[in-house]
Protein backbone atom coordinates (compact mmCIF):
# COMPACT_ATOMS: atom_id res chain seq x y z
CA UNK A 1 0.00 0.00 0.00
CA UNK A 2 1.83 3.08 -1.25
CA UNK A 3 0.16 6.14 0.29
CA UNK A 4 -0.86 8.82 -2.17
CA UNK A 5 -0.18 12.46 -1.32
CA UNK A 6 -1.15 15.61 -3.16
CA UNK A 7 0.78 16.11 -6.39
CA UNK A 8 4.49 15.84 -5.52
CA UNK A 9 4.13 16.52 -1.80
CA UNK A 10 5.56 14.33 0.96
CA UNK A 11 4.94 14.55 4.72
CA UNK A 12 8.25 15.49 6.33
CA UNK A 13 8.81 15.09 10.04
CA UNK A 14 12.28 16.60 9.87
CA UNK A 15 15.23 17.14 7.58
CA UNK A 16 18.78 17.93 8.63
CA UNK A 17 22.43 17.79 7.64
CA UNK A 18 24.55 15.53 9.81
CA UNK A 19 26.88 12.52 9.81
CA UNK A 20 25.44 9.13 8.91
CA UNK A 21 25.89 7.29 12.16
CA UNK A 22 25.19 3.65 11.35
CA UNK A 23 25.34 0.99 8.71
CA UNK A 24 27.64 0.63 5.73
CA UNK A 25 27.91 4.41 5.10
CA UNK A 26 28.63 5.38 8.72
CA UNK A 27 30.88 8.40 9.04
CA UNK A 28 29.78 10.14 5.83
CA UNK A 29 28.23 13.59 5.68
CA UNK A 30 24.58 13.16 4.74
CA UNK A 31 21.36 15.13 4.45
CA UNK A 32 18.51 13.21 6.08
CA UNK A 33 14.88 13.49 5.04
CA UNK A 34 12.66 11.77 7.60
CA UNK A 35 9.19 11.13 6.22
CA UNK A 36 6.18 10.94 8.50
CA UNK A 37 3.95 7.89 8.53
CA UNK A 38 4.61 4.34 9.69
CA UNK A 39 2.44 1.29 10.32
CA UNK A 40 5.23 -1.12 11.31
CA UNK A 41 5.02 -0.27 15.02
CA UNK A 42 8.40 -1.27 16.48
CA UNK A 43 8.08 -1.22 20.26
CA UNK A 44 11.60 0.18 20.64
CA UNK A 45 11.27 2.85 17.93
CA UNK A 46 13.02 6.07 18.98
CA UNK A 47 11.03 8.27 16.59
CA UNK A 48 7.44 7.25 17.38
CA UNK A 49 6.43 10.85 16.72
CA UNK A 50 6.98 10.03 13.05
CA UNK A 51 4.19 7.44 12.94
CA UNK A 52 1.25 9.80 12.29
CA UNK A 53 1.77 11.28 8.83
CA UNK A 54 -1.09 13.72 9.34
CA UNK A 55 0.72 15.83 11.93
CA UNK A 56 3.70 16.63 9.71
CA UNK A 57 3.90 19.36 7.05
CA UNK A 58 3.87 18.34 3.42
CA UNK A 59 6.73 19.58 1.27
CA UNK A 60 7.24 19.57 -2.47
CA UNK A 61 10.07 17.75 -4.21
CA UNK A 62 11.48 21.07 -5.41
CA UNK A 63 11.48 22.41 -1.86
CA UNK A 64 13.22 19.33 -0.51
CA UNK A 65 15.87 19.38 -3.24
CA UNK A 66 16.48 23.09 -2.69
CA UNK A 67 16.88 22.57 1.07
CA UNK A 68 19.32 19.71 0.60
CA UNK A 69 21.32 21.78 -1.88
CA UNK A 70 22.15 24.36 0.80
CA UNK A 71 24.77 21.98 2.19
CA UNK A 72 28.02 20.73 0.62
CA UNK A 73 27.35 17.00 1.07
CA UNK A 74 25.87 15.16 -1.88
CA UNK A 75 24.43 12.15 -0.10
CA UNK A 76 20.74 12.13 0.86
CA UNK A 77 19.25 9.48 3.13
CA UNK A 78 15.48 9.08 3.03
CA UNK A 79 14.17 7.42 6.15
CA UNK A 80 11.13 7.48 8.39
CA UNK A 81 8.77 6.47 9.64
CA UNK A 82 8.48 4.01 6.81
CA UNK A 83 9.40 5.76 3.55
CA UNK A 84 8.25 3.03 1.19
CA UNK A 85 4.65 3.84 2.09
CA UNK A 86 5.02 6.58 -0.54
CA UNK A 87 5.82 6.75 -4.23
CA UNK A 88 9.40 8.03 -4.24
CA UNK A 89 10.02 8.17 -7.98
CA UNK A 90 9.83 11.95 -8.21
CA UNK A 91 11.92 12.77 -5.14
CA UNK A 92 14.74 10.41 -6.11
CA UNK A 93 14.74 11.65 -9.70
CA UNK A 94 14.87 15.26 -8.49
CA UNK A 95 17.72 14.56 -6.09
CA UNK A 96 19.76 12.61 -8.61
CA UNK A 97 19.26 15.29 -11.27
CA UNK A 98 20.67 17.76 -8.73
CA UNK A 99 23.79 15.61 -8.28
CA UNK A 100 22.89 13.69 -5.11
CA UNK A 101 23.43 10.05 -4.27
CA UNK A 102 20.20 8.60 -2.92
CA UNK A 103 20.08 6.16 -0.01
CA UNK A 104 17.01 4.73 1.69
CA UNK A 105 16.53 3.06 5.05
CA UNK A 106 13.43 0.85 5.08
CA UNK A 107 11.85 -2.19 6.67
CA UNK A 108 10.76 -3.19 3.16
CA UNK A 109 7.15 -3.44 4.27
CA UNK A 110 5.90 -2.31 0.83
CA UNK A 111 7.31 -2.48 -2.70
CA UNK A 112 10.11 0.03 -3.23
CA UNK A 113 9.66 2.86 -5.68
CA UNK A 114 12.29 5.34 -6.78
CA UNK A 115 15.85 5.25 -8.09
CA UNK A 116 18.38 4.33 -5.39
CA UNK A 117 22.13 4.27 -5.16
CA UNK A 118 21.94 2.29 -1.90
CA UNK A 119 19.12 0.39 -0.21
CA UNK A 120 19.44 -0.40 3.48
CA UNK A 121 16.94 -3.13 4.34
CA UNK A 122 16.21 -3.42 8.05
CA UNK A 123 13.43 -6.01 8.50
CA UNK A 124 11.18 -5.90 11.54
CA UNK A 125 9.25 -8.69 13.27
CA UNK A 126 6.22 -6.43 13.56
CA UNK A 127 5.45 -6.36 9.81
CA UNK A 128 6.81 -8.78 7.22
CA UNK A 129 8.76 -7.29 4.31
CA UNK A 130 7.58 -7.44 0.73
CA UNK A 131 9.57 -10.03 -1.21
CA UNK A 132 10.63 -7.48 -3.85
CA UNK A 133 13.22 -6.09 -1.41
CA UNK A 134 15.37 -9.23 -1.38
CA UNK A 135 17.05 -8.98 -4.80
CA UNK A 136 17.68 -5.21 -4.58
CA UNK A 137 18.93 -4.72 -1.01
CA UNK A 138 22.53 -3.51 -0.79
CA UNK A 139 22.64 -3.84 2.98
CA UNK A 140 20.80 -6.02 5.47
CA UNK A 141 20.87 -4.34 8.88
CA UNK A 142 19.20 -6.33 11.64
CA UNK A 143 18.54 -4.78 15.04
CA UNK A 144 19.39 -7.18 17.86
CA UNK A 145 17.00 -6.66 20.76
CA UNK A 146 17.13 -10.15 22.20
CA UNK A 147 18.80 -13.50 21.53
CA UNK A 148 16.06 -14.73 19.20
CA UNK A 149 16.94 -11.95 16.77
CA UNK A 150 20.03 -13.86 15.60
CA UNK A 151 17.80 -16.53 14.07
CA UNK A 152 15.63 -13.77 12.59
CA UNK A 153 18.76 -12.24 11.04
CA UNK A 154 19.85 -15.54 9.54
CA UNK A 155 16.41 -16.02 8.01
CA UNK A 156 16.78 -12.84 5.98
CA UNK A 157 20.45 -13.40 5.23
CA UNK A 158 19.24 -16.48 3.37
CA UNK A 159 16.77 -14.43 1.31
CA UNK A 160 18.77 -11.38 0.20
CA UNK A 161 21.09 -11.38 -2.80
CA UNK A 162 24.64 -12.71 -2.44
CA UNK A 163 26.23 -9.25 -2.70
CA UNK A 164 24.20 -7.77 0.15
CA UNK A 165 26.26 -6.56 3.13
CA UNK A 166 25.19 -8.25 6.37
CA UNK A 167 25.16 -6.11 9.53
CA UNK A 168 24.05 -6.74 13.11
CA UNK A 169 23.26 -3.71 15.26
CA UNK A 170 22.45 -3.71 18.98
CA UNK A 171 19.27 -1.89 19.98
CA UNK A 172 20.52 1.22 21.77
CA UNK A 173 18.87 0.67 25.15
CA UNK A 174 19.99 -2.97 25.19
CA UNK A 175 23.50 -2.37 23.92
CA UNK A 176 25.34 -3.29 27.13
CA UNK A 177 23.68 -6.71 27.09
CA UNK A 178 23.48 -7.41 23.36
CA UNK A 179 26.80 -6.08 22.06
CA UNK A 180 28.95 -8.76 23.75
CA UNK A 181 26.67 -11.41 22.22
CA UNK A 182 26.95 -9.78 18.80
CA UNK A 183 30.74 -9.65 19.04
CA UNK A 184 30.94 -13.36 19.76
CA UNK A 185 28.37 -14.15 17.07
CA UNK A 186 30.31 -12.25 14.40
CA UNK A 187 33.54 -13.95 15.46
CA UNK A 188 31.82 -17.30 14.89
CA UNK A 189 29.94 -16.13 11.78
CA UNK A 190 32.28 -13.76 9.93
CA UNK A 191 29.92 -13.17 7.02
CA UNK A 192 28.32 -10.66 9.41
CA UNK A 193 29.72 -7.28 10.47
CA UNK A 194 28.79 -5.01 13.38
CA UNK A 195 26.95 -1.71 13.03
CA UNK A 196 26.85 0.72 15.95
CA UNK A 197 24.80 3.90 16.33
CA UNK A 198 27.89 6.09 16.32
CA UNK A 199 25.85 9.28 15.94
CA UNK A 200 24.63 8.75 19.49
CA UNK A 201 28.19 8.51 20.76
CA UNK A 202 29.06 11.64 18.76
CA UNK A 203 25.94 13.43 20.01
CA UNK A 204 24.76 14.41 16.53
CA UNK A 205 21.18 13.93 15.23
Q: Which residues face 53 on adjacent strands?
A: none
* Residues 76 and 68 sit within 8 Å (Cβ to Cβ): yes
Per-residue pLDDT, averaged over 84-91, amounts to 96
Phi, psi of 67 (to 5 degrees): -65, -45
**Residue 42: predicted pLDDT:** 76
DSSP code of 70?
Answer: T
**32: three-class secondary structure by DSSP:** strand
Average pLDDT of span 180-192? 98
Q: Residue 121: is its pLDDT beyond 60?
A: yes
Largest Cα–Cα separation, the chain: 50
Residue 144 pLDDT level (bands cut at 50, 70, 90): very high
Whether the per-residue pLDDT at 6 is higher than 70: the answer is no
Q: What mean pLDDT do residues 126-155 have?
A: 96
Q: Which residues contact 108 (CB under 8 A, 6 or more apart)?
A: 84, 121, 123, 129, 130, 132, 133, 137
Q: Do 67 and 89 meet the contact criterion of CB atoms below 8 Å apart? A: no
- Strands (E) across 50-174 are located at 58-60, 75-79, 101-106, 118-121, 139-144, 165-170
Cβ partners under 8 Å of residue 163, min gap 6: 138
The whole-number average pLDDT for the span 152-178 is: 96
Quote the pLDDT of residue 163: 97
CA-nearest of 204, 143, 151 to 175 is: 143
Q: Is the pLDDT of residue 162 over 60?
A: yes
More confident residue, 163 or 46: 163
List the domain boundaries for the chain: 9-202
Choices 3.30.43.10, 3.20.20.70, 3.40.50.280, 3.40.50.300: CATH for 9-202: 3.20.20.70
Which of the residue ranges 29-33, 49-53, 127-131, 199-203 has the most confident prediction, judged by mean pLDDT?
A: 29-33
Confidence of residue 53 (pLDDT cuts 50, 70, 90): confident
**Mean pLDDT score, 29-33:** 98
Amino acid sequence: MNIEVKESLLPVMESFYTIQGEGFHAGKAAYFIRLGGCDVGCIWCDVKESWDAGIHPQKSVDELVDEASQFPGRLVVITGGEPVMYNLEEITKGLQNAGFKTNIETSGAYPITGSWDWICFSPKKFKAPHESIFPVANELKVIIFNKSDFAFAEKYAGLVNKNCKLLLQPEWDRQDEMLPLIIEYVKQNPKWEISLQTHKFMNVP
